Structure 1
Amino acid sequence: MATTQRRTTTAPAPQRRADAERNIAAILHAALRALSADPAASVADIAKAAGVGRVTLYGHFPSRESLVDAVFAHVMSQAEATLAAEPLDDLPAAEALTRLVASSWEVLDRHRRLLVAADRALSTERIREWHDQPLARVERLIARGRDEGAFRTDLPVSWLVSTFFSLLHTAAQEIEAGRLDRADAAGVLSATLLGAFRAA
């Protein structure tokens, strides 16, 4: 009888887990939409859009920062899959850089306002951590370009990688501030980075 009773008591657990997973998915989806529309969207707005209460939202994400972090992680996972599909290895390094800038900017521009929200909520180091895989691809490309004699060797690879990362993020901020036309961003980035990386 005791065994039967224990089973009866613990039976709702899978349903609770399923409910929690549905709530988390709804919250992340609502947060992505809300922050992409307005980087300053409040937790209350996100909870309302997700169809949950603030207590439920905070039960899964104890702070706005943790929620933004989770949304950003989800987006970066999708971005990595997109960038990994780019066929860069057979292209000359300079051409591959232009292609990578274009594809990276396309992904970043799609989530430009989410990046603004991340910049406001997360540390620069945390945002950089979520870019580890894409930046490793940039690092490999720069190293190959140096081997080919196409890219400069007088500056550390790590500095050139940071330049790539910083300029893409700066472009998003400049567009948000109205100082750069989004239609010009990919071309401006390519010209700037090629100028910075090209061997003398």
Structure 2
Amino acid sequence: MTATPTRSPAKRADAQRSIAAILAAAVECLGRNPDASVSEIAKAAGVGRVTLYGHFPNRVDLVDAAFARAVEEGHAALSEVDLEGDPRAAMARLIESSWLLVEQSRSLLLAAQAVLPPGRIRALHAGPAERVQRLIERGQAEDLFRTDLPTSWLVGIMHSVMHSAADEINAGGLVPDQAAPFITATLLAAFTPPGHRTPA
């Protein structure tokens, strides 16, 4: 019986370095141009197309992996946001920090939306969405956020408003500097319980 050959540690390390370089190049290239080609990304990564396709069989897989990496890095960055104290103030801080990440990856988001189904994009946001859900639930427990709508719906509203703001900027209908305060005002109004005064 012939033993199954295994890759040496050196080859595995080389492969991991190639993957890291390709993903970094994909995030950078797609972050500038959502239509960036596989050839452009391979060149930026310093690898050949054959090497790139050896790790990512097609452009859709590459865009998926690049977007997943960007979301994961953003999720890690948002873990540093102070969410203590008044849930409304905490929500405002989270929106501002989240928007900075969305703004930085607007072009990459366009690339993802062009080739990935909405369900996949939503699934990749599961970690950040869970953080938002916990904050909303705390606000609900303190009677500051509405409870007459499902929490999952409120999380979805935040996701949709963020992405709509990115779409408006891409279409020239919104100035980037206006986005965070507009998003905050929209969401705090949407989250405020009926009959309660919307915070300024």
2:60 corresponds to which residue? 65
Which consecutive residues of structure 2, in runs of 5 or more, have no partner in the other structure? Answer: 195-200
* Deviation at residue 149 of structure 1 after TM alignment: 1.1
Instruction: After TM superposition, list the pairs within 5 Å mapping 1:18-167 onto structure 2.
Output: 18-89=13-84, 91-167=85-161
Distance (Å, rounded) in 1 between the aligned partners of 2:156 and 2:23: 29
**Aligned mates of 1:173, 1:54 — CA distance in 2:** 32
How far, CA to CA, are the matches of 2:7 and 2:93 in structure 1? 51
Letter in 2 for 1:22: R
Q: Answer whether contact 2:146 2:191 (CA < 8 A) is retained.
A: yes
Q: How much does 1:15 deviate?
A: 2.8
The answer to whether the Cα contact below 8 Å between 2:165 and 2:179 also exists between their aligned partners in 1 is yes
Show the counterpart of 1:191.
185
In 2, Cα distance between the equivalents of 1:190 and 1:126? 26
The 1:31–1:93 alpha-carbon spacing in structure 2 relative to 1, beyond 3 Å, is same
- Could you say what the CA RMSD is over the residues aligned between the two structures, in angstroms? 1.6
Shift of 1:62: 0.7
Higher-Rg member (1/2): 1
Shift, 1:11, TM fit: 9.6
Determine whether 1:177 maps to 2:171. Answer: yes
User: Which residue identity lines up with residue 62 of structure 1 in the other structure?
Assistant: P
Name the CA distance, whole Å, in 2 between partners of 1:11 and 1:146: 54
Question: What is the alpha-carbon distance in structure 1 between the residues aligned to residue 49 and residue 118 of structure 2?
Answer: 27
Question: What SS is found at the alignment partner of 1:152?
Answer: coil
State the Cα deviation string for residues 80-105 of structure 1 (Å, max 9, x = none): 1111111212x211111111111111
Greater shift after overlay, 11-20 or 27-36?
A: 11-20
Single out whichever of 13-22 and 97-106 deviates more from structure 2: 13-22
User: What's the counterpart of residue 13 of structure 1?
Assistant: 8
For the residue of structure 1 that corresponds to 2:148, the secondary structure is coil
Structure with the bigger percentage of helix: 1
Structure 1: gaps (5+ residues): 1-5
Distance in 1 (CA, whole Å) between partners of 2:184 and 2:111 is: 25
Q: Is the 8 Å Cα contact of residues 145 and 193 (structure 2) preserved in structure 1? A: yes
C-alpha separation between the residues in 2 aligned to 1:151 and 1:70? Answer: 35
